[in-house]
Amino acid sequence: MKAVAPLLTHAGTFDGADAASRPPATLLAPPRRDAWAKARNLLAIRLDNLGDLLMTTPALQAIRAALPGCRLTLMGAPFVQRLQPFIQGIDDSIAYAAPWMKASPLQGAHADLQTIAMLRARRFDAAIIFTCYSQSPLPAALLCHLAGIDLRLAHCHENPYQLLTDWLPDPEPQQGLRHEVRRQLDLVGALGWQSHDPRLSFSPDASDKAAMRTRLAALGIDPCKPWAVLHPGASAASRRYPARQWAAVGELLAQRAGCAVVWTGSADEITLVDAIRGAMHRPGHSLAGQLTLGQFGALLALAPVLVCNNSGPVHLAAAVGTPVVDLYAMTNPQHTPWGVANRVLFHPAPCGFCYRSVCPQVRHICMEQIAAQDVVAAAIDLLHDPARPASGPAPDSGLPQADRIPRGGCRASSG
Give the integer Cα–Cα distance in Å for 304 and 283. Answer: 19
Listing DSSP states for 323-350 in one string gives: -EEEE--TT-SS---BSS-EEEEE---T
Say if CB 295 and CB 208 are below 8 A apart: yes
Give the integer Cα–Cα distance in Å for 308 and 234. Answer: 9
Q: Is the backbone of residue 162 left (phi > 0), alpha (psi -120 to 50) or beta? A: alpha
Say if CB 111 and CB 81 are below 8 A apart: no
pLDDT per residue rounded down to tens, the chain (415 residues)? 222 222 222 223 333 333 444 545 578 999 999 999 999 999 999 999 999 999 999 999 999 999 999 999 999 999 999 999 999 999 999 999 999 998 888 888 999 999 999 999 999 999 999 999 999 999 999 999 999 999 999 999 999 999 999 999 999 988 888 999 999 999 999 999 998 889 999 999 999 999 999 999 999 999 999 999 999 987 666 667 888 999 999 999 999 999 999 999 999 999 999 999 999 999 999 999 999 999 999 999 999 999 999 889 999 999 999 999 999 876 667 789 999 999 999 876 655 554 555 656 545 566 777 889 999 999 999 998 766 544 333 222 333 322 233 333 444 443 3
Q: What is the pLDDT of residues 118-147, one digit of tens each?
A: 999 999 999 999 999 999 999 999 999 999
16-189 CATH:
3.40.50.2000
Say if CB 194 and CB 54 are below 8 A apart: no
3-state secondary structure of 39: coil
Q: Residue 40, CB half-sphere, CA atoms under 13 Å: how many?
A: 2
Q: Mutual orientation of helices 180-189 and 57-66 as an angle, nearest 10°?
A: 20
Q: Give the H or E element holding residue 384.
A: helix 372-384
Residues of the chain with CATH 3.40.50.2000: 16-189, 206-411
Cis peptide bond upstream of 173, omega within 30: yes
Strand 285-286 to 260-263 pairing: parallel
Q: Residue 393, CB half-sphere, CA atoms under 13 Å: how many?
A: 21
Question: pTM of the prediction?
Answer: 0.86
3-state secondary structure of 109: helix
Q: Give the H or E element holding residue 365.
A: helix 365-368
Backbone angles phi, psi at 195, to 5 degrees: -100, 135
Class in CATH terms, 206-411 = alpha beta
Q: Residue 339, CB half-sphere, CA atoms under 13 Å: how many?
A: 24
Give the integer Cα–Cα distance in Å for 336 and 7. Answer: 12
Say if CB 227 and CB 304 are below 8 A apart: yes
Burial class (CB in 10 A: 0-12, 13-18, 19+), 223: exposed
Give the integer Cα–Cα distance in Å for 382 and 376. Answer: 10
Of the candidates 227, 232, 234, the one whose C-alpha atom is nearest the C-alpha of residue 212 is 227
Say if CB 36 and CB 191 are below 8 A apart: yes
